[in-house]
Amino acid sequence: MTTHRLRSTPIPGTRDSYTGVDFNLGFHISHYDLDLDYRVIPNRLSAVATIAVENYTPLTGMTLDLVDSMRVAKVNCAELNIARFKQSGNKLRLTFAKEVPADTEFTLVIRYAGSPKPLKSTWGEIGWEETSSGSLVASQPCGAPSWFPCDDTPDEKATYDFHVTVDNPFTAVCNGELRGTSRSGSRTTFHWHAGHPVATYLATVMIGEYTQVTLSDGPIPVIGYVPANVKASFENAFRDQVEMLELYVQLFGEYPFSSYTVVVTADDLEIPLEAAGLSIFGANHAREARWERLIAHELSHQWFGNSMGLAQWNDIWLNEGFACYAEWLWFEHSTGRPAASSAAEHYKILADKPQDLLLADPGPKDMFDDRVYKRGALMVHALRTLLGDDAFFGMVHHYVEFGRHSVVEPHDLRGEVLRVCADAHAVDQLWTSWLDSRELPPFPG
């Protein structure tokens, strides 16, 4: 029998209060097989999505998230009779000819096409975006429907196969392992397989004229896909990437994916972006060796956010707080500057900012506010100060393993803290002051 969601707490209503998107209830998707034929110059995507579904309640119909501009031509299902389908409000709505009993496994085959473009949102444009030499996908938090039909909510994870056909000399880079390439005339198909569960916002397709660079061919391969004109500067700017990975394995536990990939776009990007098993940087980040902090931050998301996912967006501090603290841990290792010194520096900056943000529920407008990131990191530092190094890093190892390729919520972290700390009152005070109060608490320790 299928567990309908990975989260442990009840679904708060029928709409995501952060993205404003209605939940697709009643089923779970275990696998997406995406056959994507992309023409770069006209920006035209023709695709077939084969989706493995199991419903946990009886269904007379179901919805998937897909922008209306990606027009669906046909929906087939070998196991069920689909009476009709329609698109409206960025939803694909299916109606079954008769009620589908609970715990039925079926496969939807959806053929669709269009000119993909990013979705406009509270946080700017997200999803599939054209670049000067290809395209990129950066979907956090709800941009995945810009390019494939899906259940676009963070606690619904699935495995993926991507078959991406592009014109030569373009390369397609996706999540997971490259299983093979096949060339036919002037076009090449790249097959990538993501065997670990991935949230839809962390699925990506990066298309560009890339040169492959091997930073490490060790047990955890570290690969770069970069424009040829930044190859030399990339190798310099990312020279510490392998050492960062080795440090994080020591501090956090086993690396959760089979490899780590860095993709550099031909265009400059304001900020880098994480995806499952890979990170996306702009050419500006590869030209200059001054982005060490961001390189460390994105790598740490492979543990915090990409393996251990979120149940709901109000818990974004779990991702960003640990990732920011990982920056401070890297500098503690590489320069000898204690994380406590970094924490004190950012505490002073936070103290001069408005004290009107609730870390436990910052709201959609402020979910990516720097105060969420830095206060979240200070919360992590407060835990380290309370527990001491041995207990803290032991707790982190156990927490990371507990949430591996699943989702976590604050009470999961709290449970891990209480497992190693006998002073429940101190934990309660820390939790309330950093998460559930707007006023900035005293600096830890």
- What percentage of the chain has pLDDT greater than the value 70? 97
> Is 301 marked as a binding-site residue?
yes
Q: For residue range 319-373, list pLDDT tens digits in order.
A: 999 999 999 999 999 999 999 999 999 999 999 999 999 999 999 999 999 999 9
Residues 6+ apart with CB under 8 A from 354: none
pLDDT of residue 11: 60
Closest to 188 measured CA to CA, from 166, 207, 213: 166
pLDDT of residue 3: 38
**For residue 169, is the peptide bond before it cis, meaning its omega torsion is within 30 degrees of 0?**
yes
Rounded Cα gap, residues 269 and 280, in angstroms: 9
In this predicted model, which residue has the larger pLDDT, 311 or 10?
Answer: 311
> Is 397 marked as a binding-site residue?
no
83, pLDDT greater than 70: yes
CB 361 within 8 A of CB 372: no
Q: For residue range 198-232, list pLDDT tens digits in order.
A: 999 999 999 999 999 999 999 999 999 999 999 99
CATH superfamily of 20-208: tricorn interacting facor f3 domain (2.60.40.1730)
Q: For the stretch 242-279, what's the b/e string if a residue is b when 16 or more beta carbons lie within 10 angstroms of its beta carbon? A: eebbebbeebbbebbbebbbbbbbbbebeebbbbbbbb
Rounded Cα gap, residues 298 and 287, in angstroms: 17
261, pLDDT greater than 50: yes
Strand order in the sheet with 44-55: 71-77, 105-114, 44-55, 27-39, 157-167, 187-199, 177-184
pLDDT of residue 7: 58
Residues tagged active-site: 298, 373
CATH superfamily of 311-436: Neutral Protease Domain 2 (1.10.390.10)
Global pTM reads: 0.96
CATH 3.30.2010.30 boundaries in the chain: 209-306
Closest to 323 measured CA to CA, from 280, 277, 380, 365: 380
**Around Cβ 425, how many Cβ atoms within 10 Å?**
7
| pLDDT (mean) for 106-111 | 98
pLDDT band at 125 (very low <50, low <70, confident <90, very high): very high
pLDDT band at 289 (very low <50, low <70, confident <90, very high): confident
* Topology adopted by domain 209-306: Zincin-like (3.30.2010)
Phi and psi torsions of 122, nearest 5°: -55, -30
pLDDT, mean over the chain: 96
**For residue 141, is the peptide bond before it cis, meaning its omega torsion is within 30 degrees of 0?**
yes
Place of tokens 């265009």: 267
pLDDT of residue 6: 58
Query: Measuring CA to CA, how many Å separate 200 from each of 29, 203, 212, 280?
Result: 11, 5, 26, 16
CATH 2.60.40.1730 boundaries in the chain: 20-208
pLDDT band at 2 (very low <50, low <70, confident <90, very high): very low
Rounded Cα gap, residues 310 and 17, in angstroms: 14
pLDDT of residue 445: 86
pLDDT band at 4 (very low <50, low <70, confident <90, very high): very low
| pLDDT (mean) for 78-102 | 98
> Residue 234 in 3-state DSSP?
helix
Query: Measuring CA to CA, how many Å separate 432 from each of 223, 344, 379?
Result: 42, 20, 11
Closest to 248 measured CA to CA, from 330, 169, 315, 318: 330
8, pLDDT greater than 80: no
Q: For residue range 385-435, list pLDDT tens digits in order.
A: 999 999 999 999 999 999 999 999 999 999 999 999 999 999 999 999 999
The C-alpha angle 20, 6, 138, rounded to 5 degrees, equals 50
- What percentage of the chain has pLDDT greater than the value 90? 96
| pLDDT (mean) for 56-76 | 97
CATH 1.10.390.10 boundaries in the chain: 311-436
Rounded Cα gap, residues 220 and 161, in angstroms: 21
